[in-house]
């Protein structure tokens, strides 16, 4: 048996599917074919897939719901572990909740409010997974994962263990629990009893998101990190770039901090637009913008 057949057989045995378009897996709707895609149904399945990739020299990338991702037009010649569905339901115990990292952050946030808890309601509009949120220290409207994440179960160097989260483990849009340093499997959050305002706060944050963000077009969320002392969207708008397009990629007319796919945009279109926006903002304001989106 050739090594190529061994690789294919092994990944197929784990449930991997071949030649899946990344444009179907990302909220940007951009990207060529992935050689293999695996949606794991167990933590041991993730561990086995990582070991197989190591053994056979197959490139590996981890993806949640693909909401913060720009994928290559040429695809990915390796395995994408698409961890976008929960292996188990959230487990509530008092003010603590343990959630699988494939769980929708939106759904978990809503569930915590239903359970009479507060601390996650401001995150209810973020469309990614719990794992992605932990890997990026996701935040919105004054709330962020760092404030409530207490422990995280990770796969690192073929070892699965629970790790207590320290204060410097997460920062603005960064975390030591992000791939490839670690693969987050489960997360434990410490919340507070709801004082009666959680539902209203969640609804207000959701309404703000609908009003201000271009949810009607495919995108990868906020394109740029917030520069210290500034807001990326305000700087871009100040430079007259709202609505500026390259190919099918456009600086949103609704919120300049978003680049949206207004019609068959390619990775190349988005890259050129990011470069143009970065160059223009630097020349006109002196501020260097740093992309927030992840790349495959």
Catalytic residue numbers read: 173, 222, 292
Q: Phi first, then psi: what are they for 48, rounded to 5°? A: -65, -40
Residues 14, 104: Cα–Cα separation, whole Å:
23
Which candidate, 47, 53, 51, places its Cα nearest to that of 35? 53
Cα pseudo-dihedral 261, 266, 268, 273, rounded to 10: -10
Residues 6+ apart with CB under 8 A from 66: 22, 25, 26, 27, 28, 82, 84
Q: What is the spatial distance between Cα 152 and Cα 122, in angstroms, rounded to a whole number? A: 21
SS3 (DSSP) at 18 = strand
Spatial distance between the Cα atoms of 77 and 79, rounded to a whole number of angstroms? 7
d(CA 18, CA 8): 9
Q: Can you say how many angstroms the Cα of residue 147 is from the centroid of all Cα atoms in its chain?
A: 18
DSSP letter at 224 equals: B
Q: What is the per-residue burial (b if ≥16 Cβ within 10 Å, else e) of 245-284? A: bbbbbbbbebbbbbbbbbeebbbebbbebbeebbebbeee
Within 10 angstroms of residue 236's Cβ, the number of other Cβ atoms is 27
Determine the Cα–Cα distance for residues 80 and 16; give it in Å rounded to an integer: 9
CA–CA separation, 45 and 185 (whole Å): 11
């Amino acid at each position: 048996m050739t090594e190529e057949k061994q690789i294919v057989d092994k990944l197929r045995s784990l449930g991997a599917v071949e030649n899946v378009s990344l444009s179907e897996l990302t909220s940007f709707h951009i990207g060529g074919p992935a050689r293999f895609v695996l949606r794991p149904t167990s933590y041991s399945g993730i561990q086995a897939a990582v070991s197989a990739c190591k053994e056979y020299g197959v490139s590996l990338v981890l993806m949640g719901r693909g909401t913060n991702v720009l994928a290559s037009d040429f695809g990915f010649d390796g395995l994408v572990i698409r961890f976008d569905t929960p292996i188990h339901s959230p487990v509530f115990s008092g003010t603590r909740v343990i959630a699988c990292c494939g769980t929708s952050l939106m759904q978990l946030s809503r569930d915590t409010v239903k359970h009479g808890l507060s601390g996650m309601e401001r995150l209810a509009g973020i469309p990614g997974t719990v794992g992605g949120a932990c890997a990026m220290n996701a935040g919105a409207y004054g709330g962020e994962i760092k404030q409530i994440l207490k422990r995280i179960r990770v796969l690192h160097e073929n070892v699965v263990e629970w790790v207590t989260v320290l204060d410097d483990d997460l920062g603005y849009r960064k975390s030591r629990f992000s791939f490839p340093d670690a693969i987050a499997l489960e997360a434990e959050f410490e919340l507070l009893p709801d004082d009666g305002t959680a539902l209203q706060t969640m609804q207000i944050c959701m309404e703000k998101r609908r009003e201000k963000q271009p949810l009607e077009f495919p995108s990868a969320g906020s394109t740029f990190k917030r520069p210290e002392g500034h807001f990326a969207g305000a700087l871009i708008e100040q430079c007259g770039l709202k609505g500026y397009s390259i190919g099918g990629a456009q600086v949103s007319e609704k919120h300049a901090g978003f680049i949206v796919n207004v019609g068959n945009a390619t990775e190349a279109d988005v890259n050129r637009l990011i470069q143009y926006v970065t160059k223009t903002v630097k020349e006109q304001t002196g501020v260097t913008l740093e992309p927030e989106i992840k790349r495959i």
